[in-house]
Amino acid sequence: MSKTITDVIIHTRDSLSGYQFDQVSKNVYLNEGIISFSRNAQTPQCLMVVYNAGKTKASSILDTIRNLGINASLVGI
């Protein structure tokens, strides 16, 4: 299986509280191949995910976030 490391930015319509971010992070890390999940204090609505594209897809990560009731969309890969 490929070991292509890539990243994606996911934009949330609303800023997530610390608790919401922790819950989203916990669930995102349940996807196989997630390397890191973070956000910048200056751009809290942009979530950066680094992952192994041979093990998961950006759409699966987005689905994980949306399934938590978060209004989100892919911004870039």
Looking at residue 3, its pLDDT comes to: 76
Tokens coding 32:
């196989």
Kindly state the average pLDDT of the residues 3-7.
91
Mean pLDDT score of the chain: 94
Kindly state the average pLDDT of the residues 9-33.
96
Looking at residue 77, its pLDDT comes to: 61
Encode 10-72 in three state secondary structure: EEECCCCCHHHHHHHHHHHCCCCCEEEEEEECCEEEEEEEEEECCCCCHHHHHHHHHCCCCCE
pTM score, whole prediction: 0.90
Residues in Cβ contact with 3 at an 8 Å cutoff, skipping those fewer than 6 apart: 52, 54
Indicate whether 1 pLDDT > 90: no
